[in-house]
Amino acid sequence: MDLRCGVLICFLLLGGTEPCCSQTIWSSETSSLLPSRPPVVVECLEAQLVVTVSKDLFGTGKLVRPADLTLGPENCEPLVSAHMEDAVRFEVGLHECGNGVQVTDSALVYTTFLLHSPRPAGNLSILRTNRAEIPIECHYPRHRNVSSQAILPTWVPFRTTMLSEEKLVFSLRLMEEDWGSEKRSPTFQLGDVAYLQAEVHTGSHVPLRLYVDHCVATLTPDRSVSPRHTIVDFHGCLVDGLSDASSSFKEPRPRPETLQFTVDMFHFANDSRNLIYITCHLKVTLADRVPDQLNKACSFNKSSRRWSPVEGTADICRCCNKGSCGLPGRSRRLSRLERRGRKSASQTRNRRHVTEEEEITVGPLIFLGKAGDPGAEGSTSPHASVMLGFGLATVLSLTLATLVLVLSRRRRAASRSVICPVPVPQ
């Protein structure tokens, strides 16, 4: 480690205006008066400041008491050690005890001071030593690495804070069959396939991966009403594919922040309404986080009778069979109070593990009937619908024409003059 540390020592004597460093005991001409070793030795380590203070601080033979020595504005006390009878030792972190830091073009400079503040001993009211304040500096060069280990900063840049709190924009859209554009009409035939695309717009956020945690279909936008049909459950298991449907997640993803899946259209039995709403609970994790049982996208493969994940190992989908991946419809979410508590306790290092989530509803999805079954109640093929409409229009036109003709004839008949013969009297 290429470190350069400087120790500025200057005792300010009570009752005097001249600094002690100008006294003759520090003069090169009287080197015989200098102590055998410096009274204060400073070691600037990678993340720690070590200060060793001789008890003969003033070089007069009168020893100072360890209780009269403190370090920094927060008055950190020295270590208690029975092995150092002639010295006092401080070991503190660079950011502890109120140490200051300055950034120059070439170095990081940490500053603090050693304070000797004598107090009367016992019942005496006199002092035999002076109060002294010794400035201390540690210089860390900026033009090269100071360690071979990874840098783990203990502060949080403002930009990092803003990105971690940035509002994410979630979306759930109906897509065309080729996934190239959004579907223009929300109408379906029974038996058609709905192509759904869930997405999160991250902006300048760190890379994220999107998951569909839970999905239900209902007759209204309220997901809690009955009847309802569960499409995705157990934190990413597409359970609708267990029935006679072919619903599944699309593999592979187009992007980590996008997840696509298909749902075979259906309607609720014994209900006359021809629409449904689909509400999905979406969430994100960091893109480099390994998928697990709480963060996954699993489809059921009917040919192999097994669950398969979009990414990750197959064992994360095993819980889909038992439904033991967690509480249905609930994600691994931290409440606002829990977030604030963790943020205060561990600052920002744990904030990266907080998941963001939102519920999105798409609908109404309107179905027109069962495709290919002209005998089904309330269902017609497109060709039959056109012919029926044309026939009704023709009948209506003929009826109106006949009615207009009859009224016109009656009006003309009423306007004619009627001449009756009058008999001539004889």
Residue ranges of domains in the chain, CATH in brackets:
4-141 (2.60.40.3210), 159-370 (2.60.40.4100)
Angle, CA 226 vertex, CA 220 and CA 227 arms, to 5° = 90
Q: What is the mean pLDDT of the chain?
A: 76
The single-letter DSSP state of residue 256 is: T
Residue 293: pLDDT band (50, 70, 90) is very high
Instruction: List, for residues 384-424, the tens digit of each pLDDT value.
Output: 555 656 667 776 777 787 777 777 777 766 655 444 455 55
Residue 335: pLDDT band (50, 70, 90) is very low
Mean pLDDT along residues 350-374? 68
Which long-range contacts does 333-337 make (Cβ < 8 Å, 24+ apart)? 333/283, 333/357
pLDDT at 147: 53
Number of C-alpha atoms within 13 angstroms, CB side, residue 73?
Answer: 7
* Residue found under tokens 């007069």: 60
What whole-number percentage of the chain has pLDDT above 70? 67
For 305, the enclosing helix (H) or strand (E) is: none
Residue 61: pLDDT band (50, 70, 90) is confident
Mean pLDDT along residues 231-238? 94
pLDDT at 324: 84
Tokens standing for residue 146: 């100071």
Mean pLDDT along residues 284-308? 93
